[in-house]
C-alpha cells in the first residue's frame, strides 16, 4: 500500500516498509512514484527504491525547518572552504594574500581575538599587506563587533557603489535532487573548466586558490559537446561550500546553475555533508532568485573595509 502519489514528488515523506530484518522507516524526499515502486532520497543523497507491495504505511510530512545557523562559525567556515594562496595568523585573526586576485583572497578576516589591542593588531595587519604590495582591507560581517571596531578606527567601505554580498544556507535535502542535466565531477579542473569559469585569461593565483582546499570537487555540464556550465564544491566539516558557479551567456536561463548545485550537493552527502552555503551579490537578482527557489535563505551579509591610510 502507499498513501503517496505523483503529486507528492519533491516533498518530504515517511515510508514504513517490510525488509528481511523486519519493519523499517525511511524519511526523505519522494523522488519518483511508479506503478510498482517509489524512490525516496535521503538527506545523505542515498536513494531508496521501495516496492509498493512492501509498504505498510506512507505519508507526506512537513519540511524540516532550517536550524538557526551560528553565523560566526559559518563566517570562518566559508573562509576555510576556499583558502588563500598565503595565510598567516595574528592571534585568531586570519591574514590572507593571493597575488591580488579577489578581495576575499587578499583581506584580513578579523574574527576572534587578535591577542593584542585592536589598534596594534590593525597596524600589524596593515604592515603585512604593505609588505606584499596589497591594499590593507578587511572582510567584515555586517553588524558584527569586528565591523564596529574597525569603523571606529577609521576603516571605510572599500566598494561603496557595490551591493552587499549575501551568504545563503540550507540543508542538503533541499537541494540534492536529481539534476535535469548530466553533470560531470572531477577532482581537478581542466582547461575547459577554467575556460567557462573565466572571461579571458585565467589569473595566475586562481588555480592555487581554487584547487587548494583539502576536499574539493569540480562540476561541469556539456551541451552539444561544448562545456557550458561549471561550479566548485568544497567540504569543511559537515558544510558544503558552493562557489565559482558560472554558465556561458548563451545558455543562461535553462536551469544549468541549479543542476550544478544539485550535483555538488549529491556529492557532499556521502562525504558527511549535512548543510550547504554559497555567496552571491545581492544585486545579482537572477542568481538570488534561483538559489531561493532551491531552498537557500540568507544567513548574513558582508562587505570589505579598507584602511584609512590608503
Summarize pLDDT for 62-103 with one digit per residue, the tens.
Answer: 877 778 899 999 999 999 999 999 999 999 999 999 999 999
C-alpha cell at 40: 525516496
Radius of gyration of the chain (CA): 22
CB 150 within 8 A of CB 138: yes
Which residue is listed with cell 576603516?
155
CB 231 within 8 A of CB 257: yes
Instruction: Give 243-287 pLDDT, tens digit per residue.
Output: 999 999 999 999 999 999 999 999 998 888 889 999 999 999 999
Q: Looking at the predicted structure, is the pLDDT value of residue 3 above 90?
A: no
CA-wise closest residue to 89 among 70, 117, 120, 113: 113
Q: Looking at the predicted structure, is the pLDDT value of residue 172 above 90?
A: no
pLDDT, mean of residues 119-143: 97
Using CA atoms, how far apart are residues 45 and 62, in angstroms rounded to an integer? 19
pTM (2 d.p.): 0.86
Phi, psi of 188 (to 5 degrees): -135, 140
Instruction: Give 4-59 pLDDT, tens digit per residue.
Output: 888 787 778 999 999 988 899 999 888 888 989 999 988 777 889 999 999 999 99
pLDDT, mean of residues 217-222: 98
Per DSSP, the residues of 150-174 read: HHHTT-EES-TTSPPEEEEEEEHHH
The mean-pLDDT minimum among 53-57, 86-90, 107-111, 138-142 falls in 53-57
| pLDDT tier, 299 (very low <50, low <70, confident <90, very high otherwise) | very high
Instruction: Give 148-170 pLDDT, tens digit per residue.
Output: 999 999 999 999 999 999 999 99
Instruction: Output the pLDDT for position 167.
Output: 98
51 CB neighbour count, 10 Å cutoff? 12
3-state secondary structure of 233: strand
Instruction: Output the pLDDT for position 2.
Output: 66
109 secondary structure, DSSP code: B
Instruction: Output the pLDDT for position 156.
Output: 96
Phi, psi of 289 (to 5 degrees): -65, -45
Instruction: Output the pLDDT for position 191.
Output: 96
Amino acid at each position: 500500500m502507499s498513501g503517496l502519489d505523483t503529486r507528492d514528488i519533491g516533498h518530504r515523506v515517511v515510508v514504513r516498509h517490510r525488509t528481511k530484518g523486519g519493519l523499517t522507516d525511511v524519511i526523505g524526499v519522494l523522488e519518483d512514484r511508479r506503478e510498482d515502486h517509489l524512490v525516496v532520497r535521503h538527506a545523505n543523497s542515498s536513494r531508496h527504491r521501495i516496492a509498493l507491495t512492501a509498504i505498510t504505511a506512507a505519508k507526506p510530512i512537513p519540511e524540516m525547518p532550517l536550524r538557526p545557523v551560528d553565523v560566526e562559525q559559518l563566517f570562518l567556515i566559508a573562509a576555510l572552504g576556499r583558502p588563500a594562496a598565503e595565510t598567516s595568523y595574528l592571534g585568531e585573526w586570519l591574514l590572507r594574500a593571493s597575488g591580488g586576485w579577489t578581495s576575499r583572497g587578499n583581506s584580513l578576516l578579523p574574527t576572534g581575538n587578535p591577542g593584542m589591542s585592536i589598534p596594534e593588531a590593525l597596524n600589524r595587519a596593515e604592515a603585512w599587506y604593505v609588505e606584499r604590495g596589497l591594499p590593507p582591507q578587511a572582510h567584515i560581517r555586517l553588524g558584527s563587533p569586528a565591523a564596529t571596531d574597525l569603523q571606529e578606527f577609521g576603516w571605510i567601505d572599500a566598494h561603496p557603489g557595490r551591493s552587499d554580498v549575501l551568504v545563503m544556507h540550507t540543508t542538503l535535502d533541499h537541494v540534492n535532487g536529481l539534476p535535469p542535466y548530466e553533470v560531470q565531477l572531477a577532482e581537478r579542473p581542466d582547461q575547459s573548466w577554467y575556460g567557462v569559469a573565466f572571461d579571458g585569461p585565467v589569473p595566475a593565483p586562481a588555480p592555487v586558490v581554487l584547487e587548494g582546499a583539502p576536499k574539493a570537487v569540480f562540476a561541469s555540464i556539456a551541451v552539444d559537446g561544448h562545456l557550458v556550465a561549471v561550479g566548485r564544491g568544497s567540504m569543511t566539516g559537515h558544510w558544503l561550500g558552493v562557489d565559482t558557479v558560472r554558465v556561458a551567456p548563451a545558455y543562461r536561463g535553462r536551469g544549468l546553475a541549479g543542476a550544478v548545485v544539485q550535483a555538488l550537493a549529491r556529492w557532499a552527502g556521502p562525504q558527511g555533508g549535512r548543510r550547504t552555503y554559497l555567496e552571491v551579490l545581492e544585486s545579482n537578482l537572477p542568481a538570488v532568485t534561483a538559489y531561493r527557489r532551491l531552498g537557500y535563505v540568507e544567513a548574513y551579509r558582508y562587505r570589505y573595509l579598507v584602511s584609512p591610510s590608503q
